[in-house]
C-alpha cells in the first residue's frame, strides 16, 4: 500500500477546538490536512489555499492566521497549540508526524520513522554538498582574480579546482611564487616570457610547483622570446 498516496483524517478532528470555528475555517483546515505532502508541507499563499478549499481569499487569510496562534484548548499542546508555521512559500502542519502514526501498526510506524530519518540524512547531505560547492566557488574566484593571465576556459579551470580540492592559501601562495618568478626572469632580460593561460595553470595544479625546474628550462632556452611557462 502506498502510504504517501493519501492523508487520513483522525476521528478526534470533530472534537478539536477548530470545530468551534466557522465552516470556512474548518474547510481550510481539512484542506491543509488533505493536501500536505509526506513531510507535512503544503505549498501556497492564502489565495492558493482559498482556491483549493473553495473559500474566499479573505476567509483563507483568517483561517491561516488563526492556525498560527497559540491555542490553550488544543488537544495536542505541542507548539503551544499552534497548528501551522510558514515555510518556503507555504505551510508546515506542525503535528504531522503525530497524526500520521495514529492507528498504524508498529511495523508501519518503524518504516515511516526510518523513511523520515533517510529523508533528513539526504537533505543534510545535499545541504552540505551545496555549502561546500559555494565555499569552493568563492575560493576559486579569489584565486582566479589574483592570477595574471585569465585566458582559456574559466569554467574548466573551476572544474579542475573543484576536483583538486586544494587549500586556498596554497593556491594563493603558488600564484605569488609564479608571479615573482616570471617578474625575476623579466628583470634578467627574458622580457618575452609569458604567463601560462589560467585554464592550463589550474588544470596542471601548478600552485604545487616551486618553479626551480622551470628556471633551468628558461636558462637553457637562451633569449626565451615568446616562451610560456
pLDDT tens-digit map of 29-46? 999 988 998 888 999 999
Is 112 within a domain? no
- Is residue 198 in some structural domain? yes
Q: Are 97 and 143 within one domain?
A: no
User: 68, 61 in Cβ contact below 8 A?
Assistant: no
Closest by Cα among 111, 113, 176 to 142: 176
Is 8 part of any domain?
A: yes
Give residue 226's region: left, alpha or beta (phi > 0; psi -120 to 50). left
Task: Tell me if 121 is assigned to some domain.
Answer: no
- 155 with 79, same domain: the answer is no
- 120 sits in the region (left: phi over 0; alpha: psi -120 to 50; else beta) called alpha
Residue 41, in any domain of the structure: yes
Instruction: Tell me, yes or no, whether 74 and 19 share the same domain.
Output: yes
Q: What's the mean per-residue pLDDT of the chain?
A: 81
User: Does residue 42 share a domain with residue 87?
Assistant: yes
Is there a domain that residue 58 lies in?
yes
At 35, list the grid cell.
Answer: 493536501
- Residue ranges of E strands in 16-127: 41-43, 84-87, 90-93
**158 located within any domain:** yes
> Tens of pLDDT along 147-194?
999 989 999 999 999 998 999 999 999 999 999 988 888 888 877 788
- Which of the four pLDDT bands, split at 50, 70 and 90, describes residue 108? low
What is the spatial distance between Cα 35 and Cα 90, in angstroms, rounded to a whole number? 12
How many domains does the chain contain in total? 2
Give me the domain span that covers residue 183: 133-220
Give yes or no: residues 93 and 140 share one domain: no
Q: Give the rounded distance of the alpha carbon of 61 from its chain centre.
A: 30
Amino acid at each position: 500500500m502506498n502510504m504517501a498516496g493519501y492523508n487520513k483524517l483522525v476521528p478526534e478532528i470533530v472534537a478539536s477546538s477548530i470545530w468551534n470555528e466557522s465552516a470556512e475555517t474548518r474547510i481550510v483546515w481539512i484542506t491543509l490536512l488533505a493536501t500536505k505532502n509526506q513531510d507535512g508541507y503544503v505549498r501556497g499563499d492564502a489565495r492558493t489555499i482559498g482556491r483549493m478549499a473553495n473559500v474566499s481569499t479573505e476567509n483563507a487569510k483568517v483561517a491561516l492566521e488563526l492556525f498560527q496562534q497559540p491555542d490553550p484548548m488544543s488537544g495536542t499542546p505541542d507548539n503551544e497549540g499552534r497548528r501551522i508555521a510558514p515555510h518556503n512559500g507555504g505551510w508546515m502542519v506542525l503535528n504531522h508526524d503525530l497524526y500520521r502514526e495514529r492507528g498504524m501498526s508498529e511495523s508501519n510506524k518503524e518504516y515511516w520513522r526510518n523513511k523520515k530519518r533517510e529523508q533528513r540524512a539526504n537533505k543534510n547531505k545535499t545541504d552540505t554538498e551545496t555549502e561546500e560547492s559555494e565555499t569552493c566557488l568563492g575560493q576559486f574566484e579569489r584565486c582566479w582574480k589574483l592570477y595574471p593571465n585569465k585566458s582559456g576556459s574559466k569554467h574548466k579551470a573551476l572544474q579542475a579546482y573543484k576536483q583538486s580540492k586544494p587549500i586556498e592559501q596554497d593556491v594563493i601562495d603558488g600564484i605569488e611564487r609564479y608571479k615573482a618568478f616570471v617578474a625575476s626572469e623579466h628583470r634578467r632580460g627574458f622580457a618575452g616570457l609569458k604567463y601560462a593561460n589560467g585554464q592550463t595553470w589550474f588544470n596542471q595544479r601548478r600552485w604545487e610547483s616551486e618553479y626551480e625546474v622551470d628556471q633551468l628550462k628558461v636558462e637553457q632556452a637562451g633569449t626565451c622570446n615568446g616562451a610560456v611557462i
